[in-house]
Amino acid sequence: MMSTCGRHCSPSAPRPLRVLSIWHGAVRALNRERYDALAESGDLELTVLAPKRWSAAMPRPLDLEPGGNQRYRLIAASAWLRRHAAFHFYPRLISILAQIRPDILDLYEEPYTFIAWAAAWWRNQFAPGTRLVFTACQNIAKRYPPPFRQMERYVLQSADAAMALNREAVGVFRAKGYDGPFEVVPTGIDPARLRRVDAGDLRRRLGLTRPTVGYLGRLVEEKGVAVLLDAVAVANDGSFQLLIVGDGPEKTALLRRAEDLRIAEHIVWADSIGSESVVRYLSAMDVLVLPSLTRPHWKEQLGRVLIEAMACQTAVVGSNSGAIPEVVGDAGLIFPEGNARELRAALDRLVSNAALRRDLAVRGRRRAEAEFNWATIAERIRAVWTAARQRPPLELRRRGESL
């Protein structure tokens, strides 16, 4: 029977792209800015799976933080074995996957993890039309023990596209055999929220009366705060104050080191702060330092605090560990990791040269807006998803390889 619709009928609107993203980091409201930005376009049917509670790499369990865009659906599920990202699993995972049957299964989890393997297995068994995309942060070539090595290989062989937080991660996973579309897509920031503010009251409360060099983050050995203390001690002249914001297992040792170096009078210590206070503390600094140290099983994968500082027009200095140089670009100074004298030389340049600090502040803000704006990052993520949708299904690709 012919349609009676005629030329006055309008074609039906295309169905929104159905995406399910799995990320344990979405337990934090700040991390969900990724999904807020993706949902802004309104043409996605986006669901995010996050744990109700997370324990790994935290001093105490963290419950799902409130907040976020109402344009996407957030599923908070109980997670088993949540003390380690490699082991964690959602008992409801299979039923959630079966209910949503996404066009794109977005794994913001490392490929060696059990949750990534389980999601890839479900796709391969029950939803071959779904495209699988993973995001990798790991920038060191690690050889995992069984069964994680086999699970990683399975995910890499199953994936339709991938994203990496840094360039080194691309090389790592290419060497492990992943040969599909692969783009570097870092994390982003909201430049409307992250911008310099008047921090005069905070500086007075903290007793900051001189140019201020700061560190904001975890106090752990690999972050290199001890090198920053050594840099202050190179010339104990009091030309600047050091503001250290954060907490962690190294704090007691760092306090003792400052006393031994006889620089304690030049240092102001502040405990860990919430994300709502980051802007004020970064604005209280003239220079932000990230002196990370590469270790056999870790090197800096991004350095988000550098992006936040640039957005707040605070001049930045970073070591050359991992992804720091590619994040900083031409908007800051880089020194050889572990070299306290080189770090001190960079700090002296900035403390003594207000014009250079202003120049780097302008460059940093421009770079944060252009390269790390969530709106820009969201477009890059969508481009990866589009590339994944355009690839033949895994089964057809395998048939082509066997011919």
* DSSP letters spanning 233-301: HHT-S-SSEEEEE---TTHHHHHHHHHHTT-GGGEEEE----GGGHHHHHHT-SEEEE----BTTB--S
Q: How far apart are CA 328 and CA 316, in angstroms?
A: 8
Assign a CATH topology to domain 200-372: Rossmann fold (3.40.50)
Q: What token pair was written down for 189? A: 């920031």
pLDDT in tens, 83-140: 889 999 999 999 999 999 999 999 999 999 999 999 999 999 999 999 999 999 999 9
CATH number for 15-188+375-393: choose from 3.30.365.10, 3.40.50.2000, 3.60.130.10, 3.40.1160.10: 3.40.50.2000
Question: Residue ranges of the domains in the chain?
Answer: 15-188+375-393, 200-372
- In whole angstroms, what separates CA 385 from the centre of its chain? 19
Q: How far apart are CA 234 and CA 210, in angstroms?
A: 18
Q: What is the pTM assigned to this prediction?
A: 0.92
pLDDT in tens, 319-335: 999 999 999 999 999 99
pLDDT in tens, 200-236: 999 999 999 999 999 999 999 999 999 999 999 999 8
pLDDT in tens, 147-199: 999 999 999 999 999 999 999 999 999 999 999 999 999 999 999 999 999 99
Q: What was the pLDDT predicted at 8? A: 47
